[in-house]
Amino acid sequence: MDPIKVECGKGGMALIQVFNNKTEVYEMYGLCSDAKDGRFGSNTENIYGENFVKLSNNITHNDVIDFACSASATFLIMQKSAETLPSIVPGEPENRDLIHFYKKENNWVFITKADYNSADFDSGEMPKICFATRHPIKDFDKIKDELDFIPDLNEIIA
């Protein structure tokens, strides 16, 4: 195991972050004279007697931004797990280009950058008013049927 970072607090309390070469996983350990009293939380495993504990296995190196300890507590600054949302274009979950979309005959039509730049694309097919985004819309597949209050855009400008 290779130590990555060690933080010490008053009273002999310490947090140690290591890289386990065998499992290729980052692990967190706590050491203090009163480790059994819950100073490192309830989700720990005694490793060596009552003073040396392994913190939860579901804390990874990427989750921990920083950590510190004091005489009576440990502090882990965690980063929020970012959820990668799929593109709203069916069959193209990784598409992050500009996407135009509109409703036509009660169905959603998506025009990607590749479609727009295609020699076969007829710009007259796209309405003069439409939605456009570069960003995924969370749960668009689930909510698109609930967007029935949005009329066909061709009807608005006709």
Is the distance from CB of 137 to CB of 145 less than 8 angstroms? Answer: no
Same domain, 13 and 64: yes
Alpha helices (H) in the chain, listed in sequence order:
113-117, 140-143, 153-157
The residues, ordered by sequence, that sit 6+ positions from 60 with a Cβ below 8 Å of its Cβ are 25, 26
Same-domain status, 105 and 74 = no
Classify residue 109: in a domain, yes or no. yes
CA–CA dist 26, 16 (Å, integer): 10
Name the DSSP class of 85: P
* Predicted local confidence at residue 116, as pLDDT: 87
Q: What is the pLDDT of residue 3?
A: 66
Q: Tell me, what's the pLDDT at 57?
A: 57
Boundary of a domain, candidates 78, 111, 136: 78
149 and 108 housed in the same domain: yes
Report the candidate in 136, 30, 28, 151 with the shortest Cα–Cα distance to residue 88.
136
pLDDT at 111: 92
- How far apart are alpha carbons 158 and 154 in whole angstroms? 6
Percentage helix, strand, coil for the chain under 3-state DSSP, each rounded to 5: 15, 35, 50
Confirm whether 140 is domain-assigned: yes
Compute the Cα dihedral for 52, 58, 60, 62 and give only its sign: negative
pLDDT of residue 47: 66
Q: What pLDDT score was predicted for residue 112?
A: 92
Shared domain check, 146 and 112:
yes
**Regions in the chain scoring below 50 on pLDDT:** none
In a domain, 94, yes or no: no
Q: Is 124 found in the same domain as 70?
A: no
- Residue recorded with tokens 């309830």: 42
90 within some domain: no
Q: Is residue 83 part of a domain?
A: no
93 found inside a domain: no
Q: Are residues 52 and 109 in the same domain?
A: no
Q: Note whether residue 152 is domain-resident.
A: yes
What is the pLDDT, as a whole number, of residue 12? 63
Q: Could you tell me if residue 11 is inside a domain?
A: yes
71 shares a domain with 107? no
Domains: count for the chain: 2
Q: What is the domain extent for residue 113?
A: 99-157
pLDDT of residue 119: 83
